[in-house]
Protein backbone atom coordinates (compact mmCIF):
# COMPACT_ATOMS: atom_id res chain seq x y z
CA UNK A 1 0.00 0.00 0.00
CA UNK A 2 1.42 3.37 -0.96
CA UNK A 3 1.93 6.16 1.53
CA UNK A 4 -0.70 8.18 -0.26
CA UNK A 5 -3.36 5.42 0.02
CA UNK A 6 -2.48 4.83 3.65
CA UNK A 7 -2.79 8.58 4.39
CA UNK A 8 -6.21 8.75 2.67
CA UNK A 9 -7.52 5.79 4.67
CA UNK A 10 -6.14 7.17 7.89
CA UNK A 11 -7.71 10.59 7.19
CA UNK A 12 -11.06 8.97 6.38
CA UNK A 13 -10.92 7.02 9.65
CA UNK A 14 -10.22 10.22 11.60
CA UNK A 15 -13.12 12.03 9.93
CA UNK A 16 -15.42 9.09 10.64
CA UNK A 17 -14.34 8.93 14.29
CA UNK A 18 -14.85 12.68 14.72
CA UNK A 19 -18.27 12.53 13.08
CA UNK A 20 -19.40 9.63 15.27
CA UNK A 21 -18.27 11.38 18.42
CA UNK A 22 -20.12 14.58 17.48
CA UNK A 23 -23.22 12.84 16.15
CA UNK A 24 -23.54 9.45 17.85
CA UNK A 25 -25.83 6.94 16.25
CA UNK A 26 -29.08 6.65 18.15
CA UNK A 27 -29.32 3.60 20.33
CA UNK A 28 -32.52 1.96 21.47
CA UNK A 29 -35.23 4.35 22.60
CA UNK A 30 -34.82 3.13 26.15
CA UNK A 31 -31.14 4.09 26.48
CA UNK A 32 -30.68 5.63 29.90
CA UNK A 33 -34.26 5.23 31.08
CA UNK A 34 -33.62 2.38 33.48
CA UNK A 35 -36.19 0.17 31.78
CA UNK A 36 -36.80 -1.49 28.43
CA UNK A 37 -39.54 0.83 27.23
CA UNK A 38 -39.24 3.94 25.05
CA UNK A 39 -39.11 7.30 26.80
CA UNK A 40 -42.77 7.94 26.03
CA UNK A 41 -43.98 4.93 28.04
CA UNK A 42 -44.38 4.61 31.82
CA UNK A 43 -46.07 1.57 33.30
CA UNK A 44 -48.71 2.19 35.95
CA UNK A 45 -47.05 -0.59 37.96
CA UNK A 46 -43.95 1.51 38.60
CA UNK A 47 -44.18 2.90 42.13
CA UNK A 48 -47.98 2.84 42.50
CA UNK A 49 -47.96 5.06 45.61
CA UNK A 50 -50.95 7.27 46.45
CA UNK A 51 -49.14 10.61 46.56
CA UNK A 52 -52.30 12.64 47.23
CA UNK A 53 -52.26 11.50 50.88
CA UNK A 54 -49.55 14.03 51.72
CA UNK A 55 -45.82 14.72 51.99
CA UNK A 56 -45.01 11.38 53.60
CA UNK A 57 -46.37 9.50 50.58
CA UNK A 58 -44.63 11.92 48.21
CA UNK A 59 -41.33 11.08 49.95
CA UNK A 60 -42.08 7.37 49.47
CA UNK A 61 -42.72 8.02 45.79
CA UNK A 62 -39.45 9.95 45.42
CA UNK A 63 -37.53 7.09 47.08
CA UNK A 64 -39.23 4.45 44.95
CA UNK A 65 -38.71 6.21 41.62
CA UNK A 66 -35.12 7.15 42.43
CA UNK A 67 -34.39 3.52 43.28
CA UNK A 68 -36.17 2.33 40.12
CA UNK A 69 -34.15 4.60 37.81
CA UNK A 70 -30.86 4.29 39.68
CA UNK A 71 -30.74 7.87 40.91
CA UNK A 72 -29.29 8.89 44.29
CA UNK A 73 -32.17 8.70 46.75
CA UNK A 74 -30.45 11.10 49.12
CA UNK A 75 -29.97 13.75 46.44
CA UNK A 76 -33.52 13.28 45.11
CA UNK A 77 -35.00 13.78 48.59
CA UNK A 78 -32.76 16.79 49.25
CA UNK A 79 -33.71 18.52 45.99
CA UNK A 80 -37.43 17.78 46.42
CA UNK A 81 -37.40 19.19 49.94
CA UNK A 82 -35.48 22.27 48.87
CA UNK A 83 -37.70 22.90 45.83
CA UNK A 84 -41.18 22.24 47.24
CA UNK A 85 -40.96 20.75 50.75
CA UNK A 86 -42.74 17.73 49.17
CA UNK A 87 -45.86 19.79 48.39
CA UNK A 88 -47.26 18.80 44.99
CA UNK A 89 -49.07 22.14 44.61
CA UNK A 90 -45.92 24.21 45.17
CA UNK A 91 -45.77 27.16 42.78
CA UNK A 92 -43.33 30.03 42.30
CA UNK A 93 -45.19 32.94 40.77
CA UNK A 94 -42.07 34.84 39.75
CA UNK A 95 -40.62 32.00 37.67
CA UNK A 96 -43.71 29.87 36.96
CA UNK A 97 -41.96 26.84 38.50
CA UNK A 98 -44.43 24.15 39.53
CA UNK A 99 -44.73 20.90 41.44
CA UNK A 100 -42.40 18.75 43.53
CA UNK A 101 -39.23 19.45 41.53
CA UNK A 102 -40.32 22.93 40.35
CA UNK A 103 -40.26 22.48 36.59
CA UNK A 104 -40.56 25.77 34.72
CA UNK A 105 -43.93 25.99 32.97
CA UNK A 106 -42.46 26.57 29.50
CA UNK A 107 -40.29 23.40 29.76
CA UNK A 108 -42.82 21.11 31.42
CA UNK A 109 -45.05 20.18 28.42
CA UNK A 110 -42.10 18.96 26.35
CA UNK A 111 -40.52 17.10 29.24
CA UNK A 112 -43.81 15.48 30.19
CA UNK A 113 -44.42 14.39 26.61
CA UNK A 114 -40.87 13.03 26.19
CA UNK A 115 -40.88 11.07 29.45
CA UNK A 116 -44.34 9.52 29.31
CA UNK A 117 -46.83 11.98 30.78
CA UNK A 118 -48.38 13.81 27.83
CA UNK A 119 -50.99 16.36 28.93
CA UNK A 120 -50.32 15.81 32.64
CA UNK A 121 -49.93 18.76 34.96
CA UNK A 122 -46.65 19.54 36.71
CA UNK A 123 -48.78 19.47 39.88
CA UNK A 124 -49.32 15.74 39.39
CA UNK A 125 -46.65 14.50 41.80
CA UNK A 126 -46.24 11.11 40.13
CA UNK A 127 -45.70 12.71 36.73
CA UNK A 128 -43.38 15.39 38.15
CA UNK A 129 -41.24 12.91 40.09
CA UNK A 130 -40.97 10.26 37.37
CA UNK A 131 -40.19 12.84 34.68
CA UNK A 132 -37.49 14.24 36.96
CA UNK A 133 -35.94 10.85 37.72
CA UNK A 134 -35.87 9.96 34.04
CA UNK A 135 -34.31 13.32 33.20
CA UNK A 136 -31.69 12.90 35.91
CA UNK A 137 -30.95 9.35 34.81
CA UNK A 138 -30.37 10.63 31.28
CA UNK A 139 -28.56 13.91 31.96
CA UNK A 140 -27.88 14.52 35.64
CA UNK A 141 -28.98 17.13 38.15
CA UNK A 142 -27.66 20.18 36.24
CA UNK A 143 -31.06 21.87 35.81
CA UNK A 144 -31.32 21.90 39.63
CA UNK A 145 -27.74 23.04 40.24
CA UNK A 146 -26.23 19.67 41.18
What is the per-residue pLDDT across 25-53, written as a single tens digit (0 to 9) for each?
443 333 444 444 556 678 888 999 999 99
Look at residue 37 in the predicted model and tell me its pLDDT.
Answer: 54
* Helix (H) or strand (E) segment spanning residue 103: strand 103-104
Q: What is the pLDDT of residues 72-114, one digit of tens each?
A: 999 999 999 999 999 999 999 999 999 999 999 999 999 999 9
Predicted pLDDT of residue 84: 97
User: What are the extents of the domains in the chain?
Assistant: 49-146
pLDDT of residue 3: 73
Asked whether the predicted pLDDT for residue 58 surpasses 60, the reply is yes
Per-residue model confidence (pLDDT) at position 30: 39
Q: Which pLDDT value is given to residue 19? A: 57
Q: Contact 84/76 with Cβ under 8 angstroms? A: no
DSSP 60-101: HHHHHHHHHTT--HHHHHHHHHHHHTT-TT-EETTTTEETTT
Amino acid sequence: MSDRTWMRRFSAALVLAATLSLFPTPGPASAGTGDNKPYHYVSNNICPIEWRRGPRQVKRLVRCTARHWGVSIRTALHVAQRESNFRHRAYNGSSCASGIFQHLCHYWPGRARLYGFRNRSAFNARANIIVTMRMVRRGGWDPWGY
